[in-house]
Structure 1
């Protein structure tokens, strides 16, 4: 269910040795996939001894849950499988969720303190990433879908 390859895709961060790597998962676009992937990623990060405090790990898992939930709720009709990627090295942990829907959510472009009737989960993703000193964004895929990602510095960086 997971694989390891290459360097962490974050600009300016050289690959490191040890427990760092990139792992990819696929989940169906259904609600019950959310807790399953959250537990799988939590267990992976613990097993690989990712340099995260309990608070940073909680933030990472919160972001993951919000991104997968967003894909399940808004992209399931155009997505047979949601791709999840988690990677970390000595400096960063990066999460990305890929689905087949072309719509780029605007919530990541909005200010976290603005009031919106929808998209609060993605505002939470943005606020959590920025508060930790990281970033997040949306990238279109070659197949017409999108990749929503968040990168957070590991503790102590």
Structure 2
């Protein structure tokens, strides 16, 4: 089996919990990491009894799928591990996906160009987050990469 097609559990670091309500784990930049992250975050939110209904869970899984897929497809050469962070704090859920590529996508700040075919996934992330009453953005990391994040209110 191609190593880009699955996320081996031996390469996935266990989630680390910080006192501020944040869990962080890393996955290899391979296709199989996408469903693994969706399942891991869904299970984490259920274990924490986060007030996440079906519609919000669908939105969370969609956003995670898009962001991790982008890390696999566009940043794998510069990213030995994709970081995933989940924060539950003060009635909010924050998802962050970190990669080592310095390119900051403009799609989160732009209106779609009808002639461009790329970047629509991030426009979807933006639309889903805003529709849920949250937000999204890109933050550079000290190591030269970026974190693409989305927030969702829990109510």
TM-score, length of structure 1 as denominator length = 0.86
Q: What secondary structure sits across from 1:103 in the alignment?
A: coil
Tell me the equivalent position of 2:16. Answer: 3
Q: Cα deviation per residue 1:97-145 (whole Å; 9 max; x = unaligned)?
A: 110000001110113x653411111111000000011100001110011
1:39: which partner in 2?
Answer: 39
Contact 1:78 1:100 (8 Å CA) reproduced: yes
SS in 2 for 1:98: strand
Q: Deviations over 1:47-105 (max 9, x none)?
A: 11111111011101110111000111000011100000011134100000110000001
Q: Which runs of 4+ in 1 moved over 2 A?
A: 113-116
Counterpart in the other structure of 2:117: 117
Distance 2:25 2:48 in 1: 16
Aligned pair count? Answer: 141
Shift of 1:6: 3.4
Inter-partner Cα distance in structure 1 for 2:76 and 2:15: 22
Q: Is the 8 A contact 1:51 1:90 kept in 2?
A: no
Contact 1:5/1:23 (8 A) holds in 2: yes
Residue number in structure 2 paired with 1:17: none
> Which residue in 2 is equivalent to 1:140?
140
* TM-score calculated relative to the size of structure 2: 0.87
Distance 1:152 1:74 in 2: 25
Give structure 2 stretches of 5+ with no counterpart.
Answer: 1-13
Q: Does structure 2 conserve the Cα–Cα contact (< 8 Å) formed by 1:102 and 1:146? A: yes
